[in-house]
Structure 1
Amino acid sequence: MPMIDLDTLDLPQLKALKRDIEKRISHYSERKRREAYEAANAAAREYGFSLSELVTTSKAGKITSPAAPKYANPENPSQTWAGRGRQPKWFSEAIASGRTAEDLAIGKP
């Protein structure tokens, strides 16, 4: 792979290079995703199934990603809460001591 001296490129050239790199990364990801899908489909066929028969689409079977944290403990910012489920102890104690949820919000002004 040829080395590119980035210090010699002007801003438009750097932006064009960035677009090209992002496009290549996207194409690479798409190709790998297709390859993985085909491999999974082939494995399912070996057992006499289609991939769609094995992959559940019901809400009960969905894997959801965790929600982004909305609140952080001021005394220990590594302790966060997304505002879903049971309130963590640090959150309920802060509310009981007179703070508001807005006081504990991440990214508050």
Structure 2
Amino acid sequence: MTDLKSMNRKELERLLVDVKKALQAAAARDRRNARKAAERAAAEYGFSLNELDEGNDAKPKKAKGTKKAKKPSVAKYADPSDASRTWTGKGRQPNWFRAVVAKGIDPATLEI
């Protein structure tokens, strides 16, 4: 093992370049070994890797963080005095709904 403290800057930079090359070679070697292992595993079932890749019927995964657009809810209640004011029955009750219910009108009669 080389003592890094005793090396000068030029020697350390050369060592760094050599280490980066060795890491790239090791990664390439590991990739080749993994591919060979995958080919052997596919061959056990009578397939090649190309056949398995082409026959991929799985749905592509959705990108993380993306959401489907929500469909607007359908109105369930309408204001008897102004039919353009509606409420879906979800979330906070609108003031007109509370006022009508406070008068004693049954909410079922406000249903569309």
- The residue type equivalent to 1:42 in the other structure is R
Q: Secondary structure at the match of 1:85?
A: coil
Alignment partners' CA distance in 2, 1:9 and 1:24: 20
2:39 aligned partner = 41
Deviations 1:58-108 (A, max 9, x none): 7x7566886xxxxxxxxxxxxxxxxx635xxxxxxxxxxxxxxxxxxxxxx
Deviation at 1:55, TM superposition (A): 1.8
Residue aligning to 2:14: 16
In the comparison of the two structures, how many residue pairs are matched? 66
Q: Give the letter aligned to residue 23 of structure 2.
A: I
Deviation of 1:57 after TM superposition, in Å, equals 8.4
| Cα root mean square deviation, aligned | 2.6
- TM-score (normalizing by structure 1): 0.51
Structure ID, larger Rg: 2
**The residue matched to 2:10 in structure 1 has which SS?**
helix
Equivalences for residues 15-94 of structure 1 within 5 A: 15-56=13-54, 85-86=66-67
Taking structure 2 as the reference length, the TM-score comes to 0.49
> Moved runs in structure 1, 4+ residues, more than 4 A?
60-66
Q: 1:65 to 1:54 in 2, by over 3 A?
A: same
Q: Structure 1, residues 24-80: CA drift from partner, whole Å, max 9, x if none?
A: 11101100100000010011111111111112487x7566886xxxxxxxxxxxxxx
Distance 1:11 1:61, change over 3 A: farther
Gaps of 5+ in 1: 67-83, 87-109
